[in-house]
A and B are shown apart, each in its own frame.
Chain A
Amino acid sequence: MSRTLKIILAINLAMLTALVFIYPHLMVGPGKLIPGHRALEADCFACHVAFTGASSATCVSCHKPADIGRLTTKGLALAKPATSAAFHQQLTSQDCVACHSDHAGVKRFAQAGRFNHSLLKKEAREACQACHKSPTDALHQQVTGNCLQCHSQDKWTPATFDHNQYFALDKDHNVRCVTCHVRNDYKAYTCYGCHEHTVVNIRRKHVEEGISKFDNCVECHRSANEHEIKGGKEQRRSKKNGQDD
């Protein structure tokens, strides 16, 4: 490498180094800061601690956890809160960067709307409707609470619950949830909530077959199809024989 080339290289690199210190937000910052922090753009160490990244302690020195979602950093009431309910007070620890990124370049690829619910205290974690609105479709409007029976906290869809595993809802059973699940208690059900099935006619039909134990219908009937009885005739026969003993 010639001496002239070496000098040109050294000058260029010195200029680049100077530019890094004069314009750090352009040279090394991963994109523009959010509007609220724009004033800090050229002062990286306002938020960052050398070698350990953005410090949550610095965040909470302005953003008091008790006020987040309720008041601004100046103590004024929030006109348009970003979430329907304040929940930062319910976090198990103050790890701001676990969810927040202030630089556009990082923010762009953060998974929007993803929130790790394990960061919430147990009681807040189970009170889904404190933050989330219930869907307005006919099915969910009948349901109050108990979201976790069908949905996980990682994803809303797919719902983890498959009704067909317990009982197939055919055209004759396409009814309101409360018809079978009284008081929206999905741990219990009754088959006597409609006019078709009554204790009397069900007892008569089962006694005719020699079956006296028929209090838990879905133990044998997983659909309305009479030919799809779980265990079939043999199981019924053994049940019958067992009772005879």
Chain B
Amino acid sequence: MKSSLWRSHVLPFSLLLGVLAAATLSGSYLLHRLNLVWVGRYMGIPGTLLIIGSMYYSLRKRKLVSSGNPKTLLTLHEFSAWLGSLMVLIHAGVHFNAILPWLATVAMSVNVVSGMVGKLLLGRAREHMQGERSHFALRGLSKPEIEQAMFWDAVTVDAMAQWRKVHIPIFVVFAALALGHIVSVFLFWGWV
């Protein structure tokens, strides 16, 4: 039976994203329930450091640095960016106060999704499409018939490819907003 791109790839991806949302909500709930809101306040620091660390892969990919196995770095990039984002989301704690940090949170979330779509899904989706194409060709379908049969899969992949295009620009936005938030915290918070 032909399994659609939606069921075999998009749905598992959505579940992975759902885990991030569920971990954020449960982590935030626990901190509030246990009167540990102050812990969430400081989780922004390791979260940000993890995200900054995850950028090493991007530098390696663009050959700005030369050391490190790209495949290993990619795995580390995905893991540390996911975990860092989780920490920052818990840090945000569903508290709607200032606009700037919330814009930063939204930009980060879009960035996480675009990164996951770009790397996690797109490759697998293209493999899936290729497999389906070969399968239809073996069954003797003509090229237009194959294109027609795979129309919605192609639309889905195109949409995902658009997501990937926003990964770097939205990261720049996220970095600028996060920097603004960090500077304002340093400026106004009583650290000493």
A residues neighboring B (CB under 8 Å)? 1, 5, 9, 12-13, 16-17, 19-20, 26-31, 44, 48, 50-54, 97, 103-105, 108-109, 111
In the complex, the answer to whether B180 meets A17 with C-beta atoms within 8 Å is yes
Q: A16-B100, A27-B99 are in contact. Are A53 and B191 (CB under 8 A)?
A: yes
Known contacts A53-B188, A53-B190; A26 and B98 CB within 8 A of each other:
yes
| B142 in contact (CB, < 8 A) | no
Asked if A29 and B191 sit within 8 Å, CB to CB, the answer is no
Cβ-based interface call for B95 (8 A): yes
Most chain-A Cβ atoms within 10 A of its Cβ — which of B101, B172, B191? B172
A-B contact pairs, 6 of them (CB 8 A): A16-B103, A16-B180, A20-B184, A54-B190, A104-B97, A105-B97
* A108 to B181 Cα, complex, angstroms: 20
Return A96 CB to nearest CB of chain B, in Å.
11
Interface size for B (C-beta < 8 A) is 26
Contacts of B138 in A (CB 8 A): none
Specify which of A1, A28, A31 is in contact with B100 (CB 8 Å cutoff).
A28
Assess the B177–A16 pair: CB atoms within 8 A: yes
Given A1-B168, A5-B169, A111-B35, residue A44 in contact with residue B99 (CB < 8 A): no
B15 smallest CB distance to A (angstroms): 31
B155 interface hit (Cβ, 8 Å):
no
How far is it, in angstroms, between the C-alpha of A29 and the C-alpha of B188 when the chains are bound?
9
